[in-house]
Amino acid sequence: MKKLFFLLALLLCLSAGAQKKVVDSKTNFAREALQPYVDSGQLPGAISIFYNNGVQETCCIGYANVEQKRPIRLDNVYMQCSQTKGFCGVTIAKLVEEGKLSLDDPVSKYLPEFKELWVQDSDKDGIKTLHKAKNVLTVRMVLNHTGGFPFECSAKRNDVRGGGWSGGAPLRQVASIAAGSPIMFEPGTRDMYSNTGIDIGAAVVEVITGMKWENYLKQEVLDPLGMKSTWFWPTDKQLKKQVEMYDTHDNAPATYRLENDWEQRPYNDSHVFASAGAGLWTTANDQLKFYKMLMNLGIGDNGVRILKEETVKSILAVTTRPDNLGGYSLGLNAPKVDGENEWFGHGGAWGTNCMVNWHKKQLKLWVVQLNGPQPWNSAKDKAAEKFFSQTIDTSGVDAYTGRVK
């Protein structure tokens, strides 16, 4: 009996570590499209990955640091910025799945300071006119940008160097300040893209779990998926090989940018706080693990299940907004009606993007760190069309073997 138990445990361990095999497409659609822009210096460097049901085209082109001639690689860290929102959405979805939270719960159930909110009607000559909010703010609203909150709250707008967000503030402080500030419209009636709303959602997670949101994320998502290079504070060693930032220009080479106004150096000291709206650093390798989990309806390529299939289908892959307010789910761009040709995912401020189609098991990942015009986008999109329209041979792709969690 002991021997049988040991064998079962061994099989589970081996299964949990199993990776789904990926076949090289042997195509170079992205490289051919992007090479002229790299040669001219307009595009410093980029990573493009197309994935179609087990067959993958991987393109690392140009440089992570042009001056050093350091090639861009899948293990270079970069700011994913707003792509962090989807990670918060997954933590909320887990709590919904476990029955610890309803999307239609009032935020005030967990954060009492949101019991009374004030809507700003006007701001003339520095005098704000307000009225008491009639609608109840729900968890759903803060995660899909219909809560009425501004992009950032005042806690993140006090940078002495004249920029914007300079490391942020603790999530509970952000939530408290947001609750005491006027909102822009009645909750649930309009949409306004807001890092603040996502941070409020993360603060709700903290109350329910009794953990800091970033630690809950690490325990329940990052570690199980093997995302060892994704965190809010990249190490000095990682930053030596980061994808550097550049400003792009029309018909001229890109120029180096030391930092941006919203996330300033140093990137990993005590002035930096975890933000669910836009804070994670990651690598292309790690991003693939997260988005393939979404594409595979909750199960990672390593076989570990993060969410149930129905959870992904019902509140992540499709909108959670009212019918008249467009598509957005929980921290993710998502269609109004899910269908075989629909994609969901998210982008980031400095050009990164990843979208997946769970019906067809397809993925498009794009990594740059750029500010300014990006004239190669049309060529990149045509390269994707060529890749996804070709006949795919999946005979060498193995089935999943590790559905153990």
Tell me the pLDDT tens digit for each residue of 117-136.
999 998 887 888 999 999 99
* 8-state DSSP, 317: S
Do 172 and 206 meet the contact criterion of CB atoms below 8 Å apart? yes
**Paired sense of beta strands 55-65 and 23-24, if any:** parallel
DSSP 155: G
Q: What domains are there in the chain, each with its CATH number?
A: 22-369 (3.40.710.10)
- With H, G, I as helix, E, B as strand and everything else as coil, classify residue 313: helix
Reply yes or no on whether the pLDDT at 157 is more than 60.
Answer: no
The bridge status of strand 78-79 relative to strand 353-357 is unpaired
pTM above 0.75, yes or no: yes
Give the position of tokens 């997946």.
356
Number of H helices, E strands in the chain: 12, 14
- For the stretch 338-358, pLDDT in tens is 999 999 999 999 999 999 999
pLDDT at position 182 over 80: yes
| Range list of H helices, 42-135 | 84-97
SS3 33: helix
**CA separation for the pair 334, 315 (Å, rounded):** 9
Amino acid, single-letter form, for residue 191: D
HEC profile of 331-379: CCECCCCCCCCCCEEEECCCCCEEEEECCCCEEEEEECCEECCCCCHHH
pLDDT over 70 percentage in the chain: 88
pLDDT for residue 395: 59
**Which of 2-16, 102-116, 143-157, 264-278 shows the lowest per-residue confidence on average (mean pLDDT)?**
2-16
